[in-house]
Every structure is written in structure tokens, then in C-alpha cells.
Amino acid sequence: MKLTRLLSASRYAACRALFAEPLTTLRKLAAFKRDTPPVELKMKDGTVVRLEKPSRSNWLWDHALAPGADAVFEDGLLRFRSGATSFELPIIDDTAAAARWVGRHLPDAEQLRWRNGLLVVQARGQELAFRADSATDWVVLDEVLLNDEYRIAELPDDLGVVIDCGANIGVFSALVSRKARRVILIEPMPQNVEVARRNLEQAGAQSRAEVLQAALGAESNGTLTLWVTEKGPGCNSINRSQAAAFGEPVELKVPTISIADLFERHGIEQCDLFKCDIEGGEYPAFESAPVEVLRRIRRLRMEYHLFNDAEWLARFERLKDKLGESGFRIKLTDPLLPDGKPSGGGYLSATRVEGEDPEVPALQYGSALQAVLSA
């Protein structure tokens, strides 16, 4: 924000409604740039707000102080409207970043609110909770809600059992629950499970959903080593380099369940939709699954992961062969880059339903993730 823009009469009037020292505040915000020290702003009620990251914080104040924003600060929350969206946020840099992502990626969002330590976005007839300090919750919202990578909109409205492997914060399950009689979520990370339960509750789906805190694996009652980071809980992976994009990862042992035992223990005769996004874990899980069990799956939606490596590409080719042997018709995004090397991964859609064609989204795998990393 340039000083000339900040010092307009309408901005100064809005600033007077929020800050104890409006003119000083405007000057601090104007000087708040990359590589400058953090700034402290004194709100009208005496609250002192400390801002650390200029690009994120400036987005927030640029909109809160815009003409017609009608911003107010009460009960520790800044409330204002920007475009079609009303915001109700605590003034910290994590929520400022989340507000910026709403503005860039969910232009039709109606509300962004702070509720019980989580942000709740209302968009496209759905309320979904996520963590302000997570770099990957936004990837999930962007890909599953905005871009519909799993083609939920095209699914019939009378699904029976849906299995969500790699459920993360439950966005897919919350959306597909409108069409399903029963949803089984599989997610190994307890902090993800906690948010997923909130999203199921907000969707009114808790009575139709079962949450299993485990990882899909080659066998049951074993353990799987995941590489995990605090800031990237959506990219915890069996591959260290995948998780390392969000900081120094640490190893975590999680319990496993096989596909065969999942079907047996939960009494699944037929699965109408099996969604799988488990950051490389799809290979040991499907390599060990009996073909006769895979034939009880009618539709498969999968993110496959190659990690730019020829060894993983060979495993992917074997996975495709096994799915073909199980009677699936398959469509997928190209696993190779223009130079012939393996890509990071892509989408696979498969069906055994007569007269139904598998479809994959036009969005290439990882585009939302790259946007987060480069922001």
C-alpha cells in the first residue's frame, strides 16, 4: 500500500474507527515492507497487534481500510467485508494469509469466520473448517472444493459405501456425504482427524461416517513410517522429499490396515467409490490387495505419486496393470514430463460401472501446492 493511497479521507476515517493512533498507524502500514522489522498497532480498545509478515498483513489492512469496508474491531476480532465475502478474523499473520487465499482462490466465498480455534469458510453451499497456520489445508480446499479434482459433482446421488483413504481434514468426505449412505474415513494423523470430525459435523454427516485413525498399508496390525512436518500436514508422506517442502521432517510410526482387512472388518460387500490420496502409500497398499477384493470396488479416484523417479514410475505401471486385471477402465493424467522423465504424479480415475466413462480433472497434480510454496 502506498502512503498516498493510505492517506485518503475514507481510509483515514476507517482507521479512526479502529485505531487509537490512526495517523501513526497509517504511516506504519505504509512503511511496512519486506525485510522491515515487525510493527505493533494499538487498537482503539487498547489491544496491541503485532504484525510480522508485510505481504500478508498488508492484504488484510488494504481491504479492511478500503472505502466502504465498514470495518469494526470487537471481542478480539476484526470484522469487515471485501467483495462478496465477509471476514471475521483475529488479527494475526496466519489468519491474514488465509484471508488472502480466500480472496485469490474462493472468490464466491460468502464468509470466513474464526470459530473455536479454526477458520470456517462458507462457499458453494458448504461450511468447511481448516487451520490458519497450515500451508496444506488450503491445498485441500483448493483442489477438492474449488477444482473438484475427484469429480464429486458428476457422481450419482445414490452412492452406497464410499471409502476416503488419506481423508486429511475431511473435505472430500464432507462433500461426498451428500450423495452417500455410508462414508469410511482413513487418516493416520490425530490432528487431521480432529478437524475432519468437525467438518463431518458441520456437514451433518457424523451419523453416516466412520473414522479410522490408521494408514492404508500392505498388511494390518503393522506400522508404516511417515515423514511429517508441522506446517504441511497434508503432505505427510512415505517419501522424505515430499514432506521436506514444508520444513525439516521427522519420522512417525503409524498403525496400518490392509485393503482386504478393511473390507472384512467393516462388512463392505461393495464399495461404490474408493478415493485414495496417501502420498505414495498407494503402492504397498494396492500391491498387496487381492484382485478379488479390488473387483468389489466400482469406482476409483486416486492421486498417484511418482516423486520424479523412474523406480516409482515402474511401480505405477504395475499398479495400472493390476487395476486392468481387476476389470477397471482407466483414464489418467500424463505421468511423464515433456522431456520423457517422470512427473511428480497425477490423477487416476477408474470405473467398473457399465456405460460410465472414467474422467480426470484438467488441473495438473501439484498446481495448488506449487502456488502455496511460491506465495
pLDDT, position 373: 44
What's the pLDDT band for 365 if we cut at 50, 70, 90? very low
CA dihedral 16, 17, 21, 25 (to 10 degrees): -80
pLDDT, position 157: 96
Share of the chain above pLDDT 90, in %: 51
- Residue labelled with grid coordinates 483413504: 165
Strands 345-351 and 329-332: antiparallel
Task: Answer yes or no: are the C-beta atoms of 6 and 23 closer than 8 Å.
Answer: no
Q: Render pLDDT for 101-125 as a digit per residue (tens, 0 to 9).
A: 887 777 788 999 999 899 999 988 8
Task: Answer yes or no: are the C-beta atoms of 161 and 271 closer than 8 Å.
Answer: yes
Query: Residue 371: pLDDT above 70?
Result: no
pLDDT, position 170: 97
Q: Render pLDDT for 283-298 as a digit per residue (tens, 0 to 9).
A: 999 999 999 999 999 9
Entry pTM: 0.88
More confident site: 242 or 54: 54
Supply the Cα-derived Rg of the chain in whole angstroms.
23
For the ranges 135-144, 253-262, 332-341, the one whose mean pLDDT is highest: 253-262
Cell (9 digits) for 198 = 468437525
The domains of the chain are located at 3-123, 148-374
The amino acid present at 143, given as its one-letter code, is E
Cell (9 digits) for 48 = 496491541
Query: Residue 4: pLDDT above 60?
Result: no
CATH class of 148-374: alpha beta
Nearest to 167 by CA among 277, 280, 257, 271: 277
Q: How far apart are CA 33 and CA 1, in angstroms?
A: 9
Q: How far apart are CA 76 and CA 88, in angstroms?
A: 10
Q: Which residues of the chain form beta strands (DSSP E)?
A: 39-42, 48-51, 72-74, 77-82, 85-89, 111-115, 118-123, 126-130, 159-165, 180-186, 209-212, 215-216, 223-228, 250-257, 273-276, 299-305, 329-332, 345-351
Q: Render pLDDT for 309-325 as a digit per residue (tens, 0 to 9).
A: 888 999 999 999 999 99
Per-residue burial over 217-242, b = 16 or more CB atoms within 10 Å of its CB, e = otherwise: bbebeeebebbbbeebbbbbbbbeeb
More confident site: 363 or 258: 258
What's the pLDDT band for 5 if we cut at 50, 70, 90? low
pLDDT, position 131: 93
Task: Answer yes or no: are the C-beta atoms of 162 and 176 closer than 8 Å.
Answer: yes
Query: Residue 305: pLDDT above 70?
Result: yes
What's the pLDDT band for 363 if we cut at 50, 70, 90? low
Rounded to an integer, the average pLDDT of 324-334 is 95
Q: Render pLDDT for 191-250 as a digit per residue (tens, 0 to 9).
A: 999 999 999 999 999 999 999 999 999 999 888 888 888 777 777 777 787 777 778 888
pLDDT, position 375: 52
- Residue labelled with grid coordinates 498407494: 282
The CA-CA-CA angle for residues 367, 240, 224, to 5°, reads: 110
Q: How far apart are CA 219 and CA 223, in angstroms?
A: 9
Task: Answer yes or no: are the C-beta atoms of 227 and 249 closer than 8 Å.
Answer: yes
CA distances from residue 3 to 8, 29, 43 in whole angstroms, order as listed: 9, 8, 20
Q: Which residues contact 272 (CB under 8 A, 6 or more apart)?
A: 159, 160, 161, 162, 180, 298, 299
Query: Residue 369: pLDDT above 70?
Result: no
